[in-house]
Amino acid sequence: MFITLIRHAEPEWVRDGFSQDNPPLTTRGHRQARRLADRLEAEHFDHVYVSPLLRTRQTAAPILNAQRRGEVIEPWLEEIRSPIWQGNPAEKAEAAYREEKRRPAAERWGGLEGGEAVSDFTKRIHKGANDFFAQRGIYRTDHELPVWHIEEPGDRVAFVAHAGTNSVLICHLLGLAP
């Protein structure tokens, strides 16, 4: 299996000074998505799997159109779940993320208050990936290094997801601890 990981284009996190939890793409983000589809035009994907969040779906739309594929949502590709910021002044979310960055890495494992813990997010992505691949006859065996058994290596797939999701997935595929 040949895998291409795609991160969504630029989202509009703040509109009129207020946070959005599931934002659409900005005008620039839509341009980025179209340019990406143009760059991938010569590629062939047997399947394109998309996170359920709006920014990934809008990023995927021109790719799906160019590839003549329908949208296939994979819920496990969703980004780490943040606290509910919708409708709050943007400064509230910005302050929480600034404070989070100041904490030692080990303390950040629990995630932001009201959001998904990083440990739970990692488990969700690992389980989702394992289930997804197992349905396609692909499974991981752990020796000194992880070895993936692939019965039919022919499919070329793209995942349109998020930085966090893609990072955890890469680490999982390589057998690296989060």
- Per-residue pLDDT of 136-167, as tens digits, reads 988 888 777 778 888 877 799 999 999 999 99
pTM (2 d.p.):
0.90
**pLDDT for the residue numbered 112:** 82
- Per-residue pLDDT of 81-115, as tens digits, reads 988 888 888 888 888 888 888 888 888 888 888 88
Burial of 168 (C-beta count, 10 Å sphere; 0-12/13-18/19+) = buried
Task: Find where tokens 């980025």 sit.
Answer: 32
CATH number reported for the structural domain that contains residue 156 in this entry: 3.40.50.1240
Q: How many domains does one find in the chain?
A: 1
Task: Find where tokens 């919708």 sit.
Answer: 86
List the domain range (segments joined by +) for residue 99.
2-174
